[in-house]
A = this chain, B = another copy of it.
Amino acid sequence: MAVRGAEPGVIWARPERAGRGPKPAFTRADIAAEAVRIADAEGLDAVSMRHVAAGLGCGTMSLYNYVPRKEDLYELMVDAVSAEHELWEPTGDWRADMMRVAGQTRELMRRHPWLPRLMSPVYGFSPHALRYLEHCLACLDPMDASYGTKFELIAMLNGVVTTYVRNEIDSAERVRNLPWSEEREQAVRLAYLGGQVASGVYPRLAEAFTQDAGPIDMEAVFRRVLERVLGGFASS
């Protein structure tokens, strides 16, 4: 009888293929690809064990031979798309390089809108994540700082990008999924907000809302915020 999930931790630690029984019908890559396909097409919530198994053309429980828990399936997915990170020869300008890294991460998340929800530093040690980390460190070679500081910078940058893109995506998705129209939703929200602000309890918010009427250039905000973060690290 199989060990059935008694093994600890990291899925990457166990060999993909055990020597003994009949040869597996799928690779981890197959499974990850199918899960990613589903998530891209129908959203993360559509990624269920049954659904993925059906997509692969096998029984639901067969999946558990490859993936001990659903969490591990998520980990496979994150690793799979992390492979899309394009790596390049560092230019020597670490700030520019890190900006480029951030931009790529952002593009990655836009291609796979479910990524931010799964991004957690706990998943930080998959093979492709290691490649990515090494690449970041290479870009940071010219930076005069300890590895500790560099890790802080990388974690920070990832965190900021994740948070930022998550906002973008979540609001967009929420608007798309709601049954009533976007205008109706926005009208209700604005009416409520206006009412609250008009109460006089929030004078600064009130002032800000009369002031900031124009639409905001998200692209510019993104770049500016990142520049600031990098600036914070450069000065030290």
Which residues of chain A from 182 to 231 have a CB within 8 Å of any chain B CB? 184-185, 188-189, 191-193, 196, 201-205, 207-208, 211-212, 216, 221, 224-225, 227-231
**Does A167 sit at the interface, judged by CB under 8 A?**
yes
A192–B195 Cα distance when bound, in Å, is: 57
A216–B228 Cα distance when bound, in Å, is: 25
Instruction: Digitize A139-183: 1 where CB-to-B-CB distance is under 8 Å, 0 elsewhere.
Output: 001000011101110011001101110110011001000101000
Q: Which residues of B contact A185 (CB under 8 A)?
A: 8-9
Residue on B with the closest CB to A125?
A: B193
Query: Are B130 and A196 touching (Cβ within 8 A)?
Result: yes
Residue on B with the closest CB to A216?
A: B148
Tell me the minimal C-beta distance from A13 to chain B in angstroms: 4
Using a CB–CB cutoff of 8 Å, the interface residues on chain A facing chain B are 8-10, 12-13, 120-122, 125, 127, 130-131, 133-134, 137-138, 141, 146-148, 150-152, 155-156, 159-160, 162-164, 166-167, 170-171, 174, 178, 180, 184-185, 188-189, 191-193, 196, 201-205, 207-208, 211-212, 216, 221, 224-225, 227-233, 235-236
